[in-house]
Amino acid sequence: MIVLGLFAGLMLAAQNPINAKFSALVKSPLVASLFGYVIGVAILGVIVLVTGGGLLENIEAAMQTNMPVWFWLGGLCGAIYITAIIILFPKIGAVETVMLPTLGMIFSSIVIESFGWLEVTAIPLTVTRMLGLLILVGGMVIAVVVPTLNQRPMLQKAAPVVNGRLAWRIFGFIAGVATTLQTTLNGHLGVVLHSTYQATLIAFIVGLAVVASVMLVRERHAFRLVLPAAKYWWGWVGGALGSFYVLFMTIMIPVLGPGLTVALPIIGVMFGSLFVQKFGLFGSIKAAVHIAQIIGVILMVGGILIIKLI
């Protein structure tokens, strides 16, 4: 499961630049997101058909239980995260758009696990776990923020100060919380349905409906771009990576709990992003790996080991 978590993070590290390139080609982040959800629904639909298990029967049986309605809404939380990233980049800049949701993911996973919310097995928040959390967050900040310190003036020009900057930062943190909620809810739904594939498919269907609704409000004209977007292979790959990422997270959460399920992909994303950056993969900007990035990733690994193993 630990290897699966790291691999999920590596897939996310590849998905981000692929989706960025695809979004630039179709000239709409929402179109790119919608197309990704369509591909994800198609892939997961085929998996569910092949594996069988009676999706409709499982849904009917689940609806007869006392399970709260929000356990069906993991896809909504995922769509909130995607929409938040689209909105936040021009508002607060690239660095904070990465850092704040990550902080939200880490803290929300620890809180959910510590109090046993959402039917998660409770793990007390000890001094040792707090120390590991601080090291994990410190490593993340070093890896993301320190390499950009010399670029602060340029970043500020690229992302001018806007009214309500504090509110946008809070929104970024909430986006990370939404990601943790998506993983937790999908994991529980998978247990109830006796199928992680079916739970992930439902999440993607809900996410597809949410993104389509946002497009109806904000970019109704962009629907005509979805079909032409199919000629770009980046969209197909990005959608596939996204579907398997959510599927892997759904598989891990009942076994590892929210804390480790969220933390492991973060490490994978960091290692994968360094590799992508080093060699300029997927059309990304090629740049040397900063020593602070290596130190930060090492600290993150140490923090997770302290949280889960000591």
Per-residue model confidence as pLDDT tens for the chain (310 residues): 778 988 888 887 787 778 777 877 888 878 888 888 999 999 999 999 998 878 888 888 888 887 888 888 899 998 888 777 767 766 776 567 777 887 888 889 888 988 888 888 888 888 998 898 899 889 888 887 787 676 555 444 444 444 567 788 889 899 889 989 999 999 989 988 989 999 999 999 999 999 999 889 888 888 888 788 888 887 888 889 989 989 999 999 888 888 778 888 888 877 887 887 788 777 666 778 888 888 988 898 888 778 776 6
Prediction pTM value: 0.83
The predicted pLDDT at position 90 comes to: 61
The predicted pLDDT at position 160 comes to: 46
Write b or e for each residue in 151-165: b if 16 or more Cβ atoms lie within 10 A of its Cβ, otherwise e: eeeeeeeebeeeeee
The predicted pLDDT at position 154 comes to: 47
